[in-house]
A and B are shown apart, each in its own frame.
Chain A
Amino acid sequence: MIEKGKIAVLVGRRALSTWEGIKHFHEYMLSILKSFKSFRYLRFRSIYSIAVNQTRFTGFDALPFVIFIALVIGATVIIQATTNLPKFGVEGFIGNLLVIIVARELGPLVTSLIVVSRSGSAIAAEIATQKWSREILSMEIIGIDTRLYIVFPRIVASILSIFSLIIIFDIVAFFGGYLISQSVVYIPTDIFIQNLLDSFSLIDLLATVIKSVIYGILVPLICCYYGFMPKSKFEIPIYVSHAVMRTLVIIFIINVVISAMFYF
């Protein structure tokens, strides 16, 4: 009886704390929207270098990781498909399988995982450190709208980077994986390409665009939120960890929702 009571208290406390967190995040979102009132006073040159640097860090610098992981995943999927599909007599569906697994799901998910772990953690840590060293306060006192100045260029950079990385991931996974898999199984190139083209549809492209835009908005938004939260330097690692884990959870949930919307 006492055990059940304790569990109920723990669950209740957790639920309340989650609800408070959602309310607080909602207030943060409203403050971001409110900051768009000063958008017409925002000068492009003041955020240009931030957007460029963020795009370079989030997109360009992540390329080696994305290419390597895409190669590995592409090869794995092709090897598994070509060795197992014939057992079921459906070897003609290899292109479909690649599109379904890599283009629709793994491409966006793995790319966003790389972006969250690299850029998301860096964004949260950078903002938290700036807040602790009163750099954010200095910007506010200069009259800079810190929500717009910090969050907006990162959202723009993130959308561009994630979309580009997903496309690169898919291409490298398909063709790079194909090349690696040739050492294990032989698939004629023309058949492979034809299979892919037949399986790829406009809906897949649309789903990819929508996922990259949503992830591109969510990753910096959530990571900046946790970056603004620490009140002391000792809380910085805690909130950076929260930023990464919670962004990942949200991304997995959004992925399921979008996939269900488009393909169910």
Chain B
Amino acid sequence: MDDCLLKIDNLSCTREGVCRLKNISFSCNRGENMVFFGPEDSGMDTLVSFILDLDRDYEGSIYYRGRMLSEFDYTQGLKYKTGIGYLHGDYGLISNMTVEDNISLPLKYHSNLTVDEIKKVVNRAVDELNLDQCKKLRPIDLSRSEILRTAYARSIIMDPDLLIVEHAFEGQCPVNILSFTESLEKRAAHEGRSTFIVTYHPEQFIEQSDRFVMFYRGRIVFSGNRRDFLESDNKYLIQYKNVAPHGPMVIL
């Protein structure tokens, strides 16, 4: 269990009569990178909200480093979140803070670093992600790729064990986010750090990821490594990769 970072055990959730998740089980070891994909309303967003401990209305168990999430008290729940970085498609930058302030927010709130030490760490992240020209600007003055890079910097500034990236690439120009994708690849190659990517385009993350998990209507319909993703004859996977209207998935 020591190597196991996150373990999901028989997770189920029904809301307003609709099954959001059904008997989801998987585990992720330290350093392992996973891609979750599937059509809309497949349950990936619900799963992420449970992993982030934003909601405990589920059956089953989620273990983080061997400890059950539902047993965390109020302050333990807050501390748990410092070990997880989250980057979502709305980015959620604080609009009345500059790029520097946004990135340093987790450090100011959680760490014992001095002001100068925080500044050094933030400057390193700013240099790595080519944000130097806009570090004094507020989100309203930033381009789309600058917003993504700032939000990413904030999500990894505490060097979390697990980074969850949820639909953060949609609508981004691949040329403008090169520094971000390079940083993500570097992180993915790091042995002690795991990344979950939730996306509609799993083929873009073949090189970075170790496992691919496909969801459909709250169930896991495919799970496999890189080779399985490329070569499997799983009907759900084939329909998804080919963007075919007909197949085992009913797409409205």
User: A residues touching B (Cβ–Cβ < 8 Å)?
Assistant: 34-35, 37-38, 41, 43, 45-46, 126, 129-130, 133-135, 137-145, 149
B182 lies within 8 A of chain A by Cβ = no
Q: Give residues of chain B (73-100) contacting chain A, Cβ–Cβ below 8 Å.
A: 74-75, 78-82, 84, 86, 88, 90-96
What secondary structure prevails in chain B residues at the interface with A? helix
Docked Cα-Cα span, A149 to B108, in Å, equals 12
- Whether A141 contacts B84 by the Cβ 8 Å rule is yes
- Whether A142 contacts B90 by the Cβ 8 Å rule is no
Distance (whole angstroms) from the CB of B84 to the closest CB of chain A: 7
- Whether A143 contacts B90 by the Cβ 8 Å rule is no
What residues of B have a CB within 8 angstroms of the CB of A137 in the complex? Answer: 54, 88, 92
Question: 22 A-B contacts, Cβ less than 8 Å apart?
Answer: A38-B75, A38-B78, A41-B75, A41-B78, A46-B108, A129-B95, A137-B92, A138-B88, A138-B92, A138-B93, A138-B94, A140-B54, A141-B54, A142-B81, A142-B106, A142-B110, A142-B154, A143-B82, A143-B110, A144-B105, A144-B106, A149-B109
Docked Cα-Cα span, A46 to B112, in Å, equals 12
Docked Cα-Cα span, A139 to B110, in Å, equals 12
- Whether A135 contacts B92 by the Cβ 8 Å rule is yes
Minimal Cβ-Cβ distance residue in B for A49: B101
Docked Cα-Cα span, A38 to B74, in Å, equals 8
- Whether B154 contacts A139 by the Cβ 8 Å rule is no
Minimal Cβ-Cβ distance residue in A for B157: A142
- Whether A141 contacts B78 by the Cβ 8 Å rule is no
Chain B contact residue count (CB 8 A cutoff): 27
Minimal Cβ-Cβ distance residue in A for B101: A49
B184 lies within 8 A of chain A by Cβ = no
From the candidates A35, A38, A134, A149, name the one contacting B90 in the complex (CB within 8 A).
A134
Docked Cα-Cα span, A194 to B58, in Å, equals 71
Docked Cα-Cα span, A10 to B199, in Å, equals 49
Distance (whole angstroms) from the CB of B154 to the closest CB of chain A: 7
Minimal Cβ-Cβ distance residue in A for B79: A143
- Whether A142 contacts B94 by the Cβ 8 Å rule is no
Known pairs A133-B95, A137-B54. 18 more at Cβ < 8 A?
Answer: A35-B74, A37-B75, A38-B75, A38-B78, A43-B109, A46-B108, A130-B94, A130-B95, A133-B90, A137-B92, A138-B154, A140-B81, A141-B81, A141-B86, A143-B79, A143-B109, A143-B110, A144-B109
- Whether B95 contacts A141 by the Cβ 8 Å rule is no
What residues of B have a CB within 8 angstroms of the CB of A145 in the complex? Answer: 78
- Whether B108 contacts A37 by the Cβ 8 Å rule is no
What residues of A have a CB within 8 angstroms of the CB of B92 in the complex? Answer: 133-135, 137-138
- Whether A45 contacts B108 by the Cβ 8 Å rule is yes
- Whether B78 contacts A143 by the Cβ 8 Å rule is yes
Closest 8 CB pairs of A and B: A138-B92, A143-B81, A134-B92, A46-B109, A143-B82, A134-B90, A141-B86, A46-B108
Asked, given contacts A133-B90, A135-B92, whether A142 binds B75 with beta carbons under 8 Å apart, the answer is no
What residues of A have a CB within 8 angstroms of the CB of B106 in the complex? Answer: 142-144
Minimal Cβ-Cβ distance residue in B for A48: B108
Distance (whole angstroms) from the CB of A173 to the closest CB of chain B: 34
